[in-house]
Amino acid sequence: MNKFLKSNNLVFNLVEEEDANFILQLRSTESLNKYLSKSVVTEEAQKTWIREYKKREIEKKEYYFRIDKKDGEQLGFVRLYDISYEKNTFTWGSWIIKEGRPPYSAIESALIIYEYAFNELGMSKAIFDVRKENIGVLKFHKKFGAITLAEDELNEYFELPKENYEEKRDSKYKKYLLER
């Protein structure tokens, strides 16, 4: 698998069928899947889903990344999807990182996603939702300058303009990214 995206401590690789078992392990860990959409999947069903996803990847409609430490230790997964080249918007989520992860893994994985979507794909805005019960992630996105658009009983809906992201990145988070 080719190394796809990097930060100071992390490498993103595009998901392959052999990642199915690790995906299932993480998604079946109750403390990790609390805020993800529920799924009961077999390893074979997960491989089938990955094969279908790879078609969307080829069409540049979606990217599913495995998050690894630079030493190769597998940490988790994150998706970039609902990519609209017409509106220059994207969504990211299905973010799951194993227990015992390094403290930098959340911030660096978010930065990699934003850098790729904003700078490589040319997007101007992230659109996403977060479960209201997921207090830590709500705070995380608001610190990045995400703007609440709406909410319902279950979710808060956000947008994060590229300018807001870049301001926070440059003032607070640049140290996590590789020098260009």
CATH at residue 89? 3.40.630.30
- Total domains present in the chain: 1
Residue type, 165: Y
In eight-state DSSP terms, residue 175 is: G
Using one digit for the tens of pLDDT, what is the confidence trace for 111-160? 999 999 999 999 999 999 998 988 988 998 998 899 999 999 999 999 99
Beta strands at 125-131 and 147-151: parallel, antiparallel or unpaired: unpaired
- Report the pLDDT value the prediction gives residue 1, as an integer from 0 to 100: 38
For residue 109, which of 63, 54, 154 has the smallest C-alpha distance? Answer: 63
- Report the pLDDT value the prediction gives residue 97, as an integer from 0 to 100: 85
Q: Are 126 and 114 in contact (CB under 8 A)?
A: yes
Euclidean distance between CA atoms 143 and 131, whole angstroms: 16
- Report the pLDDT value the prediction gives residue 25, as an integer from 0 to 100: 84
For residue 113, which of 77, 150, 71, 149 has the smallest C-alpha distance? Answer: 77
Q: Are 98 and 76 in contact (CB under 8 A)?
A: yes
Q: What domain range includes position 11?
A: 5-176
SS3 (DSSP) at 113: helix
Could you tell me the end-to-end alpha-carbon distance of the chain, in angstroms, rounded to an integer?
A: 23
Q: Are 50 and 42 in contact (CB under 8 A)?
A: no
Q: Whole-prediction pTM value?
A: 0.87
